[in-house]
A = this chain, B = another copy of it.
Amino acid sequence: MATTAAVLADIFIMFLAAKLAGELFERLRQPAVIGELLVGVVLGPFALGWIGVPTGAMIEAFHGEAQAGEAMASIYEVIAELGVIVLLFLVGLETRLTDLLRVGARAGVVAVLGVIVPFVLGYALVAALGHPTIEAIFIGTAMVATSVGITARVLADLGHVRGDEARIILGAAVIDDILAMIVLAVVAALGSGGRLTAGEIALIAGQAIAFTLFVALAGRHAVRRWSIHLERLRIRNAPFVVAVAVMLGLATLSAQIGLAAIIGAFLAGMVFAELRDQYELEHRALPLYELLVPLFFVITGSHVDWRLFLDGSILGIALAVTVLAIVGKLVGCGAGALGLGWRSVAIVGVGMAPRGEVGLIVANVGKSLAVIPDAMFSTVVIMSVLTTLVVPPVLTLLYRGQPAETVPMPRTTDQFAVADGRLPEL
């Protein structure tokens, strides 16, 4: 039982520290999420070591050997995964399909350009430095995906989660993740020495696109047709329970067919967005958010080895890759948003910048295939973190003076009395 007690203690320390840091950052008028990430860095195994180690694979990659804590590590992965699933589910609840379709074409352009430009820039830089082609391809791939968690959180904190820019970003991020997973599947096949026919590539791509369209359209149809039966169920709190089951189910399905679990969670939220107000689904999901989402950000922060920043040569390449990663999304995604005004272009570009855990996934795959060396892995880690850290302050700045569409973070204690289904506490 010692292990369970130790994990429980870790969860308590992470939760308490996250909330204390959140309180501090709120008072400094900064997003609480930065405080939560910094708590992870400080408490993590590379600094104080108060909370458990990150994944065995990460530790191994950093130090070239497995560590004692490896067996426990995946617990934190699972908790973090549940946290980001709940986060994207709540974001999905905010996103009615009809609203998304309104920005659909533009989101598609933003996503595609946001994949092509960073990939080309990353590939070109690494190839120009004389690294092997496969290495350049992996760095390019790590720069493709958008980790929309941080952006979604900042948009919600600022009360802009229902604005046009938010819908473009969220829509593009969904398309982007699908494109990134396709690219990763193809690149991983290349990295393991295999060859893919054009037909196989088309199959992977078709599966991913079909899944998203099917869930979004069939799910909406099912909800409209069957939701009346929710009231006949005998289990308590049936609509919320069914929504949670669908969230877990679509996340699982999406992970099983090779997409990120958060895509399924987002789609589940989108499907239930129609029933959001009728069954107070947001208010009921918020306690899950309060418990799990800060843990996700603390655990993400704990993956950062601050000592990497002390190595000048790694830092130099890392900063160059980071700059290209941000410029790539700013140019690619911003170009897709042209015509909305400079502020919206900048918001979309910056909002699409964070790579977060998606970049780390790509780095882990490359590492496990032994096609990218330690220094390049560290580079991707730094790029993922910096592109993520840069978003909250810049986005806050870009939205300054803009009236919020939803109520940003009310401080009263009667949020549950809010009846119009807004997402006040996200």
Contact = CB atoms under 8 A, between A and B. Distances in A.
B16 A245 contact: yes
A75 B80 CA distance: 13
| A interface majority secondary structure | helix
B252 A3 contact: no
Contact of A413 (B72, B82, B279, B416): B279
Given A234-B411, A284-B286, 20 more contacts: A1-B364, A4-B78, A5-B252, A7-B78, A8-B78, A8-B81, A8-B82, A9-B252, A16-B245, A16-B248, A26-B235, A74-B75, A75-B75, A236-B424, A236-B425, A237-B425, A238-B413, A240-B287, A241-B290, A288-B288
Most buried by B among A4, A77, A251: A4
Interface size classification for chain A: 35 or more
Nearest to A80: B4
A44 to B, nearest CB: 18
A409 interface: yes
Interface in A7-32: 7-9, 11-12, 15-16, 19, 22-23, 26-27, 32
Contacts of A72: 74
A290 B244 contact: yes
A297 to B, nearest CB: 14
B409 A12 contact: no
A273 to B, nearest CB: 17
